[in-house]
Amino acid sequence: MSARIAMSGSAGTGKTTLGRRLARELGVPFIEEGMRARLEGGLDLHAMTPLELRDLIVALWDEQCEREAAAAGGYVADRSSADFAAFWIHYGYAGDLEATDAWIARMNAALARYDAVALCPWGALPLVHDGVRSTNRWLQFKYQALVEGVLARFAPPERVVRVAVTDDFEARVAQVLKHLETLR
């Protein structure tokens, strides 16, 4: 099956683990998110100016778009454009209305490229300290609420797979694969 799937949700919801497995099951490449590698390489978000962080969000999205375009036979991406819309709002850039309107329009146009967006639920898995993600569950909840709102408002509902609130990994895999079957 040639599918374009994007994973969505806050940190620690199981996006990467589920996405890697789905990519393997579907025989398509897994597109890693770019932020983790930068953070593991020593990037300190707290040392960045607001403009530098905004430019980083744009650069990360541009990189993901290049990787998605290169995967003509389908892919599973570790983030969706809805996540990038939520990042924009989460980090405080919504005050610039013109730039925000343009960014949200760009992110919404990108949503149309996905055959499905798998939205992993907040709170189903324990947040594990890995030296990269914040383990502040309420900060993660805030981000999750934003991304869920973006998807609810702008994504076609039939393309959003709301992954079950369970820690049963095999059930999560089966649920998303079953949903993809309905799209054929």
Domain segments of the chain as ranges:
4-182
With bands split at pLDDT 50, 70 and 90, how would you rate the model's confidence at 130? Answer: confident
Position 56 scores a pLDDT of 97
Sorted by sequence, the CB contacts under 8 Å of residue 128 that are 6+ apart come out as 12, 135
pLDDT band at 1 (very low <50, low <70, confident <90, very high): low
For residue 31, list its beta bridge partners.
77
Tell me phi and psi for residue 161, to 5 degrees.
Answer: -100, 110
Domain 4-182 adopts which CATH fold? Rossmann fold (3.40.50)
| Residue 138 scores a pLDDT above 80 | yes
Give the DSSP per-residue string, 82-120. HHHHHHHHHTT-TTSHHHHHHHHHHHHHHHTT-SEEEEP
Task: Map tokens 């914040």 to a residue.
Answer: 134
Residue 179 has pLDDT above 60, yes or no: yes
Give the pLDDT mean for 19-32.
Answer: 97
pTM: 0.93
Q: At what angle do helices 137-154 and 97-111 cross, to 10 degrees?
A: 70
Tell me, what amino acid is at 47? A
- Mean pLDDT throughout 69-76? 96
